[in-house]
Structure 1
């Protein structure tokens, strides 16, 4: 799948692209079912809300991970997913920097503060924002359900000096200071709600400022994020690096896989049923 010149221009101008129905409902159901299995694994890569419900699951793409999921491994290499990501990164070799599944359960799903993803990744030793994120909606994303919001064009500001928020939610996050967010909204306009049906894919720049509200609905809002980084941009050594479940140590280029990869991986009972140890 190749992006058109108009799509490439839109990505550069707005900082994101939306692809409705890019993943089939059958594929979404396979992914959702296996994610439900993975949420039952006790591991440090499974983050829980203060209420005890699962907030985030990391590293589902890596077969060596305790949270490994064969369908999600296939998702990361689908031509319709990885090829556009590679294209916006200049058709350079890419690898999966990390995967995370954000699960906002009905009523319980908490907010994600305003932030830039590269605000954190820079501290991991990544020199350039030559990265992109592919978001797949496993549920319908609605405003009442705590959908993502983007400030279109905010990626043009580059990386902003973040501040660490350790208290708002159960997950510590490098956030954009409130006064800067307000100034940004004055400059670029009000945030845009990123809504869509299951199977919608959103490709977005690591410097776009984004956040999401509490899930006030009776429906869950599950999203899977696959982050691609140029192999030449892999992190260099930093003091006290974050663990492998959030920053991949395997930086080998990922090849484009089969377009029916999710369906084929779902057919392997041995793969889907396996449970890895809770600790590596």
Structure 2
């Protein structure tokens, strides 16, 4: 459970870091699932190149199953903080493994997650990501960077930045001068919970150490999604207070 201070920090800053959510043994099992598991190998693809031409690999899925990734996504130690920060019950949206490998892993340009998710039909930005460090995340290997408090700007228009989608550079330059940039350095097993409108990015991995991460994304159960035929539906994988799937 989060403390009152942690919840207030999230409201002010758009993110909060919780250390030791997963044990080293659990992290080791996730890394084994990255390297040898079916889910990551089956859904893995090369991400869009950054402005230097480097890529980061990505595996993404939208369904829960019988594996370590799904178990983590409905674990009470993750679901409780998500529900507290959303201030209501949560629905699993998707999971993904980011593979920013040593020397070759590319950067991710400045963006908001809701900058993408808005165009997937979600009406409200009552959405959140839980970012799990599988390797130690440092400045040297391209840890996540955030602009503290930038979630309060609301949704910003996104366009092409290189071959990625991100915030238009001229507007970003003006915004960056208004907010503190924070490098979110994380130990393995720590979790960064962050708002869907928080501006974030990461540099390329120029180090000799991998920077792999597992990200679980959730939407408030009350947040409808509009499909192409304008039918409104709610996310189909709500998770309860004890981590059980309610659907």
> Do Structure 1 and Structure 2 share a fold, with TM-score over 0.5?
yes
How far apart are the structure 2 equivalents of 1:125 and 1:140? 34
| 1:94-134 Cα distance to aligned partner (Å, 9 max, x none) | 11111111111100100101000000100000000001110
* Runs of 5+ consecutive residues of structure 2 not aligned to the other structure: none
**Corresponding residue to 2:130 among 134, 157, 171:** 134
CA deviation vs aligned residue, 1:123-177 (integer Å, no higher than 9, x gap): 0000000011100000000111011100001000000011134x44xxxx43111
Structure 1, unmatched stretches of 5+, are: 64-68, 241-248, 259-280
The answer to whether structure 1 residue 181 and structure 2 residue 180 are counterparts is no
Q: For 1:249-260, what aligned pairs fall within 5 Å after superposition?
A: 251-256=236-241
Q: Deviations over 1:12-66 (max 9, x none)?
A: 11000001112100010011101212479664x3112579987001117622xxx
Alpha-carbon distance between aligned partners in 1 of 2:197 and 2:235, rounded to the nearest angstrom: 23
Instruction: Tell me the TM-score normalised to structure 1 length.
Output: 0.78
Q: 1:232 and 1:250, CA in 2 relative to 1: closer, same or farther beyond 3 A? A: closer
Alpha-carbon offset, residue 182 of structure 1 = 1.5
Indicate which of 55, 58, 74 corresponds to 1:56. Answer: 58
Q: Tell me if 1:87 matches 2:84.
A: yes
> Residues 72 and 60 of structure 1: is their aligned pair in 2 closer, same or farther, counting only changes over 3 Å?
farther
Q: How big is the alpha-carbon RMSD for the aligned residues of Structure 1 and Structure 2?
A: 2.6
Indicate if the aligned counterparts of 2:139 and 2:183 stay in contact, CA closer than 8 A: yes
Task: Find the residue that maps to 2:16 and give its secondary structure.
Answer: strand
Q: What is the TM-score normalised by the length of structure 2?
A: 0.88
Distance 1:224 1:87, change over 3 A: same
Kept after mapping to 1: 8 A contact 2:54/2:106 = no
Q: CA-to-partner distance for each residue in 1:63-110, whole Å, 9 max, x for gaps?
A: 2xxxxx6111110111111110111111x2211111111111100100
Q: Residues of 2 paired with 1:257 and 1:133: CA distance? A: 19
Tell me the equivalent position of 2:97.
101
Q: How many residues align?
A: 238
